Amino acid sequence: MARELVDLGLELGDPLWHLPLWRDYHGLIESDVADIVNTGRGAMAGAVTAALFLADFVPDELPWLHIDLFAWNDSARPGRPVGGEAQALRTLLAWLERRYRRG
Protein backbone atom coordinates (compact mmCIF):
# COMPACT_ATOMS: atom_id res chain seq x y z
CA MET A 1 0.00 0.00 0.00
CA ALA A 2 2.81 2.41 0.89
CA ARG A 3 4.65 1.76 -2.38
CA GLU A 4 1.43 2.29 -4.37
CA LEU A 5 0.79 5.62 -2.65
CA VAL A 6 4.37 6.85 -3.08
CA ASP A 7 4.37 5.95 -6.78
CA LEU A 8 0.96 7.50 -7.37
CA GLY A 9 1.95 10.68 -5.53
CA LEU A 10 4.99 11.05 -7.78
CA GLU A 11 2.83 10.47 -10.85
CA LEU A 12 0.37 13.18 -9.74
CA GLY A 13 2.93 15.73 -8.56
CA ASP A 14 1.57 15.29 -5.01
CA PRO A 15 4.51 13.42 -3.48
CA LEU A 16 4.56 11.36 -0.31
CA TRP A 17 7.44 9.44 1.19
CA HIS A 18 7.45 6.29 3.23
CA LEU A 19 8.83 6.73 6.73
CA PRO A 20 10.03 3.60 8.52
CA LEU A 21 8.34 2.30 11.66
CA TRP A 22 11.55 1.68 13.57
CA ARG A 23 10.48 -0.45 16.55
CA ASP A 24 13.73 0.55 18.30
CA TYR A 25 12.21 4.05 18.67
CA HIS A 26 9.27 2.70 20.67
CA GLY A 27 11.23 3.38 23.84
CA LEU A 28 10.78 7.10 23.11
CA ILE A 29 7.02 6.81 23.79
CA GLU A 30 7.18 4.45 26.76
CA SER A 31 6.23 5.86 30.16
CA ASP A 32 6.72 5.19 33.85
CA VAL A 33 3.16 6.41 34.50
CA ALA A 34 1.14 5.02 31.56
CA ASP A 35 1.57 2.24 29.02
CA ILE A 36 2.72 4.76 26.41
CA VAL A 37 2.67 8.52 25.82
CA ASN A 38 1.51 10.25 22.65
CA THR A 39 4.67 12.30 22.14
CA GLY A 40 8.31 11.34 22.21
CA ARG A 41 10.73 12.47 24.87
CA GLY A 42 12.45 14.90 22.52
CA ALA A 43 12.48 16.28 19.01
CA MET A 44 13.97 13.12 17.49
CA ALA A 45 11.81 11.03 15.16
CA GLY A 46 8.50 12.80 15.90
CA ALA A 47 6.68 11.49 12.80
CA VAL A 48 7.96 7.96 13.43
CA THR A 49 7.02 7.98 17.13
CA ALA A 50 3.56 9.35 16.23
CA ALA A 51 3.06 6.41 13.89
CA LEU A 52 4.40 3.97 16.50
CA PHE A 53 1.88 5.35 19.00
CA LEU A 54 -0.95 4.66 16.54
CA ALA A 55 0.45 1.22 15.70
CA ASP A 56 -0.06 0.16 19.30
CA PHE A 57 -3.83 0.48 18.77
CA VAL A 58 -4.17 -1.12 15.32
CA PRO A 59 -4.56 -4.91 15.06
CA ASP A 60 -1.68 -6.56 13.17
CA GLU A 61 -3.98 -7.95 10.47
CA LEU A 62 -5.48 -4.52 9.62
CA PRO A 63 -3.75 -2.49 6.88
CA TRP A 64 -3.35 1.15 7.92
CA LEU A 65 -1.32 4.22 7.24
CA HIS A 66 -0.28 7.34 9.09
CA ILE A 67 0.13 10.51 7.08
CA ASP A 68 2.19 13.16 8.81
CA LEU A 69 2.10 16.32 6.73
CA PHE A 70 3.06 19.96 6.67
CA ALA A 71 0.11 21.00 4.43
CA TRP A 72 1.37 24.54 3.88
CA ASN A 73 2.98 26.41 1.00
CA ASP A 74 5.63 28.90 2.06
CA SER A 75 5.84 30.24 -1.49
CA ALA A 76 3.45 30.36 -4.44
CA ARG A 77 3.60 27.95 -7.39
CA PRO A 78 1.22 27.73 -10.33
CA GLY A 79 -2.16 26.61 -8.96
CA ARG A 80 -0.82 26.49 -5.41
CA PRO A 81 -0.83 29.87 -3.65
CA VAL A 82 0.87 30.68 -0.36
CA GLY A 83 -1.07 29.21 2.54
CA GLY A 84 -2.89 25.99 3.31
CA GLU A 85 -2.22 23.10 0.94
CA ALA A 86 -4.30 20.04 0.17
CA GLN A 87 -1.15 17.96 0.53
CA ALA A 88 -1.69 14.24 -0.08
CA LEU A 89 -5.42 14.68 -0.78
CA ARG A 90 -5.03 14.35 -4.55
CA THR A 91 -2.99 11.19 -4.10
CA LEU A 92 -5.35 9.66 -1.55
CA LEU A 93 -8.45 10.42 -3.61
CA ALA A 94 -6.90 8.93 -6.76
CA TRP A 95 -5.79 5.84 -4.81
CA LEU A 96 -9.27 5.33 -3.34
CA GLU A 97 -10.90 5.80 -6.75
CA ARG A 98 -8.59 3.20 -8.31
CA ARG A 99 -8.98 0.77 -5.44
CA TYR A 100 -12.76 0.99 -5.10
CA ARG A 101 -13.80 1.78 -8.65
CA ARG A 102 -17.10 0.16 -9.48
CA GLY A 103 -17.80 -1.62 -12.72
pLDDT tens-digit profile of 43-93? 788 889 999 999 999 999 999 998 888 888 999 989 889 999 888 999 999
| pTM for this predicted structure | 0.75
Distance between CA atoms of residues 28 and 37, nearest Å: 9
CA–CA–CA angle 8, 12, 15 (5° rounding): 70
CA 77, CA 79: separation in Å to the nearest integer?
6
pLDDT confidence bin for 103, thresholds 50/70/90: low
36, burial (CB in 10 Å: exposed 0-12, middle 13-18, buried 19+): middle
| Residue 57 belongs to domain spanning | 2-99
Q: How many domains does the chain have?
A: 1
